[in-house]
Amino acid sequence: MAEKHQRYRATEKGKTAHREYMRAYMASYRRKLIAEGRLDREKQHQYDKEAHRRLRARVFETLGGARCNNCGCDVFELLEVNHIKGAGRQELKSKQSRQLYRDIINGQVEQRDYNVLCKVCNTLHYVEALMGVEGFQVKWNEE
């Protein structure tokens, strides 16, 4: 790549332009593969779902196990990565959840700023931390 092009790609405008180009290119490439019969959408979808599940499992193990830190819930589908200090929405505007998960696993972010909570406890954390409403408690009954 020429030096001038490298400088352009390093700018925010260049990154955005390249990202948009790659999105359009990959969409047309997938359409081409489907039309040629070289890509099975359902098979690819199942593979992607399983890969995302494995990545989430690795993140949960990195953060102390697949169990809610508040109530002890261990239903995998209900567990989420919680931003202890808040700002989860802001962070997910700049990167996808998969990238955040990889950053946590690789130690590129402070792991102590994250924990594993179930959806109910994560909502409770939001209500307590950001809205100032307190006095609620979640109890997980294992049966």
- By C-alpha distance, which of 140, 120, 136, 139 is closest to 128? 136
Count: domains in the chain: 1
- The model's pLDDT over 112-123, given as tens digits with 9 standing for 90+, comes to 888 999 999 888
pLDDT at residue 83 is higher than 70: yes
- 136, 94 Cβ separation under 8 angstroms: no
**Per-residue pLDDT at 130 exceeds 80:** no
Q: Is the pLDDT of residue 50 over 90?
A: yes
Does residue 23 form part of some domain?
no
- Domain assignment present for residue 64? The answer is yes
**59 occurs within a structural domain:** yes
What local confidence, expressed as pLDDT, does residue 57 receive? 96
The parent domain of residue 121 ranges over 40-131
- Please enumerate in sequence order all residues whose Cβ is within 8 A of that of 84, keeping only pairs 6 or more positions apart, or say none: 112, 113, 114, 115
The band of 9, judged by pLDDT with boundaries at 50, 70 and 90, is: confident
pLDDT at position 28 over 90? yes
Separation of alpha carbons 62 and 55, rounded Å? 11
The predicted pLDDT at position 124 comes to: 85
Q: Residue 19 domain-assigned? A: no
- Residue 80 domain flag: yes
Percent above pLDDT 70 for the chain: 94
pLDDT per residue as tens digits for the range 87-107: 666 777 777 888 889 999 999
